[in-house]
Amino acid sequence: MAVSFATFDRLKSKGVAAYQKGDYLAAKTYLVDAAECMVELAETAKTQDAQRQHEELAAELIDLAKEADRLHKSGAKGRPPGAARQREKEADSGGDASDWVIKDKPDIGFDDIAGLEDVKNEIRLKMIYPFAHPELAKKYGIGTGGGILLFGPPGTGKTMIAKAVAHEIDATFFRVSPAQMLSKWVGEAEQNIQKLFDAAKAEKTSVIFLDETEALVPKRKSDSSTVMQRVVPQILQELEGFDRKGDRALLFIGATNRPWMLDEAMLRPGRLDAKIHVPLPDAPARMRLLEIYFAERPLAEDVDFGELCDKLDGYSGADIKNIAEQSAQLPFMEAIAGRDARSISRTDVLMVIEDTPPSVRPSDLVRFNKFAQGRG
């Protein structure tokens, strides 16, 4: 049975609690189990970045488990000495988020995003135009900043959209995953959230992008881990604390493939002011994606993008990228085997499409549409 992030969080929380109490033998057991869960989660990660982050977190937990084992064998009791105590001191002193948050100035804008015109126009209206026309925004009482949720099937470009928003308003882009925020350092998740928002508020204009938002702000239940019982209120408090009329504007963009898993309080106006459905690419977007992903590859004259565009209805942008890569591998492997190098043919692409069904199921699309209509 596949492990869940909740299982990992529960094991990690127990390991951290045991470590802080000086029960190092129990801490070692829980931390090793948590690391094993994270390794399994890494194997099913949707992106290479997520896989790398999960693997790094697993390695950190193993290091902490080794330190717990050493302390147990040495007979140490109480609060951890040495390096561990130093890390606690750093956490208590405030520190910053520079060692675990990706901070960037993206160079892609809305013109680089294929299709999704309705999505881009909605984002322009709610998030970009108030920055571009500050006097008019002030006149009509339109605040700058705030939060939006991008939701929809995986592989539809939500991360790219968030980067494009930062580029359009010349903002500093902060990107963080729930795994990173929950890992640094032992059990200090709510402090990490505050550090992240403080770092973003220090910039003139900034965008915080949180992928897999439902992992950090899940629906709260009576049996939720103590960590999540503290984390969810903390992030809600930070979202409510936006200064929408100040000189330093802050935007929060959450992205999720499972919006129905989010805590209801997160979806209220004043926290996430807009919930924007990012659907599968429409025909113009599919055509543009084909042009992008086949642009640097040799194509035979019988390849008709119009035909392929029709056949790829229901495929995500990530699916189309994968099909282009798989199609190129067929003549590539032939050339490696000693045959003459040739262009990618219509037969190559159609064969790959036939062998590659869409990654998003029709039932998932129905659920996204229901959520978009307020019935999910």
3-state secondary structure 85-108: HHHHHHHHCCCCCCCCCEEECCCC
Query: In this structure, are 270 and 345 located in the same domain?
Result: no
pLDDT at site 356 = 93
Residue 223 lies in a domain: yes
Average pLDDT over residues 342-354: 96
pTM over 0.75: no
Confidence of residue 84 (pLDDT cuts 50, 70, 90): very low
Asked, for residue 366, whether it belongs to a domain, the answer is no
Please check whether residue 152 lies inside any domain of the structure: yes
Least confidently predicted of 54-68, 214-228, 259-273, 339-353 = 214-228
- State the pLDDT at residue 200: 85
Residues, the chain: 376
Separation CA 139–CA 315 (nearest Å): 44
Q: What is the mean pLDDT of residues 76-101?
A: 49
CA atoms in the 13 A half-sphere facing the CB of 50 = 16
Q: In what order do the strands lie in the sheet with 274-277?
A: 102-104, 172-176, 205-210, 249-256, 146-151, 274-277
Which one of 233, 251, 279 terminates a domain?
279
Answer yes or no: do 180 and 296 share one domain: no
Domain count along the chain = 3
In the chain, the percentage of residues whose pLDDT exceeds 70 is 83
At 296, which amino acid appears?
A: E
Structural domain for 85, as ranges: 5-92
Inside any domain, residue 36: yes
Query: Do 248 and 322 fall into the same domain?
Result: no
pLDDT of residue 180: 63
For the beta carbon of residue 244, count every other beta carbon within 10 angstroms. Answer: 15
In this structure, the answer to whether residues 14 and 121 fall within a common structural domain is no
